[in-house]
Structure 1
Amino acid sequence: MFLSQKYLQIVTFIGIMCFACLAASENTQNERSVAEAQLMHDKGKTIEEISRQRWLQGLLGSVHNPGRRNVPLIKNFRRDLRRLNEEQQRFSSIRNIRNLQYKQAILAHNKNLMERDP
């Protein structure tokens, strides 16, 4: 009888220790830090915001506005592009003329220097 009571005490002690270890490990897994909770909250708000934006885009996409057309914008864009190209060509031609004048002035100056030093 003494042996069975000792055996029962050991089994009970081991059982209590296992239960205590399991209970302690469950608390660390279930508890979340403040930063993790804030991250989950922010993620939920972001998902909600994205779904709201998609819903609004769907509503606005179904709106038909016949008063506005993209054709004048394209014509204006082409006109502005043509003007820009003309201005660039004019500036490049002015720049080329100035470069030629500068080169001619340098050549004339070098020619004068060569004539002075025979």
Structure 2
Amino acid sequence: MHKKLELPGIERIRARFLDMLEQRQRALAEHALAAWEGSTLQEINDNLAEARTILHQIAGTAGSLGFDDLGTVARDNELAIDAHLDGPKGKIANCPTEIIFGLDDFLKSSEALIAEQSALESA
């Protein structure tokens, strides 16, 4: 993590980001599961595209708030989904295991960050 921004009100913005991160985790998990269990190309790809949008939002904000590692994991997953959707396998009704594992890693990283920040606030 690089040096945190020290602008007035930044802690409140970080707290709001972490609250939103919890909501986005749930949405991301729902889209991942729906993509994994999907039976049609459109259902799978639509859910992957929604997951990608959530990851893009997180990646764009996380780094600017000093959460570089989370931003990197989000961006890596975003790019993996892009590569799948834009590639030849994006035309097959199948959700790649690698994407699901990557999303799971992101969810674990975000849980760890939330727990870490909660512990810091409690100290």
**TM range, normalised to the smaller chain?**
under 0.3
Question: Per chain length, whose mean CA-contact separation is higher, i.e. which structure has more relative contact order (CA < 8 Å, sep 6+)?
Answer: 2
Query: Who wins on radius of gyration, i.e. which is larger?
Result: 1
Higher share in helix? 1
TM-score (norm: length of structure 1): 0.25
